[in-house]
Amino acid sequence: MTPDDPRHVNAQRIETHEIHVITDDRISRATEIAIGLVDKPGALLPVLHAIQDELSYIPAEVVPGIAKVLNLSRAEIHGVISFYHLFRTQPAGEKTIFICRAESCQAMGSRELEAHAKASLGIDFHETTADGAFSLEPVYCLGNCACSPAIMINERVHSRVTPDYFDELIRAG
Ligand code: FES
């Protein structure tokens, strides 16, 4: 099928339309969440948490709707999103890797492990790999201090994680 082929043009239209519909759904849902929590004192943080819990991140497109409902400026909302690192502006990866940065893990080499993880995945904390497979997040104690350094991938905690063991876990997917 060449780019001029009508089927190609239609396929492009359908694709664009689907993306548009998904985005609209997200905007509507985020606005509904804001309306549901608008009476809460300091509503912005609970609204942002609820949106992230549901969508896995806070798309830039939902900000104008939230701003309108909460009677805030877009700049105020973007300011809060960028201030709190736990808010994501990109979709979460299929798996989220949490690296413990608390005292016991630091004493056992978690800084080196963190540097290795960032270099081998090619991302920083709060980012997602280009293929969407992994996100990387810091965490402050996983309750596994006796087996430091610890990481958690999705809900599973891994103990005494060396850079080689980290690579094995990533290869295992
Ligand atoms: S300090 Fe890392 S698990 Fe407790």
Q: Which of 97, 142, 159 to mutate to test the pocket of ligand 1 (most atoms within 8 A of CB)?
A: 142
Query: What's the average model confidence in pLDDT over 44-67?
Result: 94
Q: Among 11-25, 32-46, 103-117, 145-159, whose mean pLDDT is lowest?
A: 11-25
Closest ligand 1 atom to the C-alpha of 147? 3
Counting Cα atoms < 13 Å in the Cβ hemisphere of 69 gives 24
The answer to whether the CB of 120 falls within 8 A of the CB of 170 is yes
The two structure tokens encoding residue 159:
């103990």
The CA 151 to ligand 1 mean position distance, Å, reads 9
User: If pLDDT is split at 50, 70 and 90, which confidence band does 100 have?
Assistant: very high
The residue ranking higher by pLDDT, 78 or 173, is: 78
From the CB of 80, is ligand 1 less than 6 Å away? no
Number of CB atoms found within 10 A of residue 38's CB: 14
User: If pLDDT is split at 50, 70 and 90, which confidence band does 155 have?
Assistant: confident
pLDDT at 9 over 60: no
The CA 38 to ligand 1 mean position distance, Å, reads 37
pLDDT of residue 23: 63
